[in-house]
Amino acid sequence: MARNKHPEETVNLILDVAFRQFMEKGYEQTSIQGIINELGGLSKGAIYHHFKSKEDILIAVTEKIMAESNRMLAGIRDRTDLNGIEKLKMIFKKSISRPVQNDIFTVAPDFHKNPKLLFSLLHDTIEEAAPNYILPVIEQGISDGSIKTDYPKQLAELILLAANIWMNPMIFASSEEDSFRKFMVFQQMLQGFGLYVIDDEMLQRLQELTSIYQKSR
């Protein structure tokens, strides 16, 4: 095969095919050879030129999803028609209603075998998403009087750690009942901080997502 003159297109093609296979078969059942077979004649050498391992592909796929999530968060953060607590509520609502979320719940990698992804998710949550998207919203809430806390940075981190890591069925496999109970404790935690942002509609949506994940196991 001729040398590819557009490496970014090759990378995107690899990620699209890999993501679809992760969704359809699950991460563990996907092989690099299986991805190559769908890449229309791309050689094994060409894929290894961009990614050292299947885990590296999973990390790149996850980073692409995170980038989309971060664009959504930036959009809400930058709105001018909502106060702080309304934005926080909107963020939870949108986070659990994005269509792509349905797909994520079917990948289900085994973190025993993919420790790098866990680091990547934890790092993105605490070092990127919390300070860049949640903190400014909490700070706005402090200014407009809709949120009260003396520790906005730490509150942003703790909320996202619970939401993105502990309640993430990709990381901790949970029964439907367990997921529901985690959410109830999460809601109680938020209320303890004076944040009344979870409503019945969001609760119902979360239960739907949990069912999708359970079916794919």
Binder of a second copy out of 13, 82, 142, 162 (CB under 8 A): 162
Q: Which residue has the tokens 């990390």?
A: 59
Q: Which is nearer to a second copy, 87 or 182 (CB)?
A: 182
Q: Which is nearer to a second copy, 23 or 130 (CB)?
A: 130
Piece of the chain touching a second copy by CB under 8 A; list 17-25, 78-86, 189-197, 208-216: 189-197
Binder of a second copy out of 56, 116, 132, 168 (CB under 8 A): 116
Phi, psi values for residue 3, rounded to 5°: -60, 135
100 binds a second copy (CB under 8 A): no
Piece of the chain touching a second copy by CB under 8 A; list 16-24, 85-93, 133-141, 183-191: 183-191
Count the residues of the shown chain that bind a second copy, applying the rule CB under 8 A: 33
Q: Which residue has the tokens 């992760």?
A: 22
Q: Which two tokens stand for residue 217?
A: 């196991």
Binder of a second copy out of 166, 176, 199, 208 (CB under 8 A): 166
Question: Which pairs with CB-CB distance under 8 Å and at least 24 residues apart come from 7-14?
Answer: 7/50, 10/42, 10/46, 10/50, 11/50, 11/60, 13/39, 13/42, 14/39, 14/42, 14/47, 14/50, 14/51, 14/57
Binder of a second copy out of 118, 203, 209, 212 (CB under 8 A): 118
In the chain, helix, strand, coil percent, each to 5? 70, 0, 30
Binder of a second copy out of 37, 79, 151, 201 (CB under 8 A): 151
Residue 104: count of CB within 10 angstroms of its CB: 22
66 binds a second copy (CB under 8 A): no
196 binds a second copy (CB under 8 A): no
The C-alpha atoms of residue 157 and residue 213 are separated, in whole angstroms, by: 26
Binding positions for a second copy, rule: CB under 8 A: 111-112, 115-116, 118-119, 122-123, 126, 149-151, 153-155, 157-158, 161-162, 165-166, 172, 178, 181-182, 184-186, 188-189, 191-193
